[in-house]
Amino acid sequence: MRVKTKRKIQGFSLMLITILIFLFVGEILARASYDSIFNYDTEMWRYASFAKQPSENLLISHEHKPDVDIDLYGANVRINSNGLRDYDYEYENVENVKRILVLGDSVTFGWGVEFDKIYSKLLEKKLEDTQVINTGVGNYNTQMEVAFLKEEGIKYDPDIIILGHYINDAEMTPEVSNYFLKRKSYLYGYLWGKYRNSVGKLSEKGNFLDYYNNLYKEDFEGRVLFEDAINELKDISKEKGIPVVIVIIPELHKLDPYPFESVNEFIRTFEDENTYVLNVLPYLQGYEPESLWVSGEDAHPNEIANDMIAEAIYEKLIKENLV
């Protein structure tokens, strides 16, 4: 009996050692060959693992780590001391210039685009004596963006608030995992990317369209939270006398006819005397959708699209006499 137990323990130990060796070698290979195997999903994993951290504010969920400098998906990303992908602006407006605060997700953050080509910085170049402060963070929804505004963004004392709206902004707030291996293992990132890619190929286009449209059904909790967040933003706007411009940035898989026009119509219902709505879609409909993507696998807006977004916002600000 003791011999059998001893053999079982030895067998289990051998199996455990083999697994650990396999994982160790796999981790070394994944790190060594990463430049030749990375894709959108693995780079998003690196972004989450090395440039983000959990937030103490549960409504925000996660935030950028301050003072990070990392290359992600072909673009250099430098996060400043306040956790923004932007210059090191002081909270106090010491230069006494107009300030525009831009809220948003990975589109506003400028995923896959160099810093000087993201739409907030292109807009800043078009305006005189104006700072356009980019607070975009990947995977933020509107609820998180408004929570960030209340806790951090409002400290910059903005004259105008721009909310960059993207079709997935009614998603529920994601949970943040802080498991060491999940956040630090390149082997995990590679396998996760493979899994995500397989799931994506199995998904049909109809399901993709349905998914986004379903986010805005009246009985979906995410839509309710989205609507509450927009109304809270409008209350802040009225209380502090800060005009808000909601910029509808289109999903770039199909532009004409656009499959989410009903969502755009819903967003337009928030417009009033202090809240403006801008639909960027007409500025992009003359382009082939893929020509506006950062890569063949990723429909985030590239430099061309960011330039069009900046131009559309600039014209809207001029038209409404906001600058």
- pLDDT tens per residue, range 121-162: 999 999 999 999 999 999 999 999 999 999 999 999 999 999
Residue segments in the chain with a per-residue pLDDT below the cut of 50: 201-206
Whole-number pLDDT of residue 201: 44
How far the first Cα of the chain sits from its last, in Å, is 85
Q: Running DSSP on this structure, what letter comes out for residue 75?
A: E
Give the integer Cα–Cα distance in Å for 233 and 246.
Answer: 10
Whole-number pLDDT of residue 205: 44
Give the integer Cα–Cα distance in Å for 323 and 314.
Answer: 9
Count of Cβ atoms closer than 10 Å to residue 308 Cβ = 20
Whole-number pLDDT of residue 177: 63
> Both tokens of residue 71?
């290359």
> Both tokens of residue 72?
């992600």
In the chain, which residue ranges form alpha helices assigned H by DSSP?
2-32, 34-37, 40-50, 106-109, 119-126, 142-151, 180-184, 186-202, 205-214, 221-240, 261-268, 281-284, 303-319
Give the integer Cα–Cα distance in Å for 108 and 118.
Answer: 7
Whole-number pLDDT of residue 38: 62
Give the integer Cα–Cα distance in Å for 181 and 177.
Answer: 10
Whole-number pLDDT of residue 72: 97
DSSP string, 96-135: --EEEEEE-SHHHHTTTS-GGGSHHHHHHHHSSSEEEEE-
User: Between the CA of residue 255 and those of 5, 170, 280, what are the distances in Å?
Assistant: 66, 20, 11
Whole-number pLDDT of residue 174: 80
Whole-number pLDDT of residue 12: 67
> Both tokens of residue 317?
């600000």
